[in-house]
Amino acid sequence: MKHVCNWALTAAASRGATYADVRVIAQRSRALGTKNGKVGSASDSESVGMNVRVIVEGAWGFAASAELGRGAVEATAAQAVEIAKASARVKKEDVRLAPEKAAVAEWSMPYKIDPFTISVEQNIELLLRIDTELRSVVGITLAETNLNFSREEQWFASSEGADIHQTRLSTGAGYAAYAFAGSEIQKRSYPNSFGGQWQNKGYELIEELKLVENARRIAEEAVALHKADQCPEGKFDIILDSSQLGLQIHESVGHPIELDRVLGMEANFAGTSFLTLDKLRTLRYGSDLVNVVAKAWRRSARRSSRMVCSPVI
């Protein structure tokens, strides 16, 4: 894919770009699911595309394409340049890039088993075995299972000499058992809710989770919930496990610090934020023991973000 990057950078420079970068991304994903003994969903897809960013006359321009032929790549770069020129007509000031050393790197996420070397037939066989275990428990009326794999390979190059190639794998699996009784529904999930456990690993994660071995226990717990006593009222010490604690941090810290929510420009799904600008560096989130560090999921050659939240932010 480096030749694709070179085509784009050369075309942008020849049309007047003072800075340009190009990103090529190739993705493959597989998503499988069963419901009560039948395959409920199955997909295995691949996609590839590229985008070009340029600075021309002090303004940004951007264009993207799903075609990687030389003509299409050069046309995409030319379109980015034209968009930048149009943007320059209404700019308030020139774009200024922070001085950064151009990064050159080759990185692949460590894994033991490429999930895409395991056939779809084997994947479905595993899910149906789990399904059988779940529904073997009397009282289970609905069983759902899923497996998800993705691989993303990315190439990034810039006119300043950046040259980065990285590959990332993601694996996820989970299932849920439902027990309908009277007017109530009880549910238990494994290993986590919201689709199960996801990690940047290969197929070895599926083996580590012991999905089949835990299925009957999860189903029995779902049925038992119908006869469980109500939780007592009062003040108690609560110990949160890792998945619940992660969710608490995500909701109480993650969403509120999203800048578009802070500025009132976004309210979708998670709502706006109580972290208004007048509270900056004065609002106390928690005790002196609270120390939250967040890093950007992806990093480009020129840009990275790192945020450290002390008790007062």
Q: 58-96, pLDDT tens digit by residue?
A: 999 999 999 999 999 999 999 999 999 999 999 999 999
Residue given tokens 């089949």 in the structure block: 212
Residue 36 sits at φ, ψ, to 5 deg, of 45, 55
What pLDDT does 65 receive?
Answer: 95
Above 60 in pLDDT, residue 243? yes
Structure tokens at 214: 């835990």
How buried is 101 (Cβ within 10 angstroms: 0-12 exposed, 13-18 middle, 19+ buried)?
A: exposed
pLDDT category, 308, cuts 50, 70, 90? very low
pLDDT category, 301, cuts 50, 70, 90? very low
Which of 3.40.50.720, 3.30.2290.10, 2.60.40.1180, 1.10.3720.10 would CATH assign to domain 2-228?
Answer: 3.30.2290.10
Contact 113, 203 (CB under 8 A): yes
Residue 147 sits at φ, ψ, to 5 deg, of -130, 140
What pLDDT does 298 receive?
Answer: 43
Q: Distance between CA atoms of 209 and 254, rounded to whole angstroms?
A: 27
Q: Distance between CA atoms of 55 and 308, rounded to whole angstroms?
A: 31
Which residues share a beta bridge with 177? 143, 188
Single-letter residue type at 212: V
Above 60 in pLDDT, residue 158? yes
Residue given tokens 């497996």 in the structure block: 147
Domain boundaries, the chain: 2-228, 240-313
- Give the DSSP per-residue string, 76-131: HHHHHHHHHHHHHTT-SS---PPP-PPPEEEEE---SS-GGGS-HHHHHHHHHHHH
- Give the DSSP per-residue string, 209-237: HTHHHHHHHHHHHHHHGGGPPPPPPS---
Q: Distance between CA atoms of 67 and 292, rounded to whole angstroms?
A: 42
Residue given tokens 């968009």 in the structure block: 83
* Confidence (pTM): 0.77
pLDDT category, 295, cuts 50, 70, 90? low
Above 90 in pLDDT, residue 187? yes
Residue 155's contacts (CB-CB under 8 Å, 6 or more residues apart) are 1, 2, 4, 5, 23, 24, 25, 164, 165
Percent of the chain predicted with pLDDT > 90:
71
Cα distances from 179 to residues 127, 171, 190, in angstroms, run: 19, 28, 15
Torsion-angle region of residue 182: left (phi > 0), alpha (psi -120 to 50) or beta? left
Single-letter residue type at 123: N
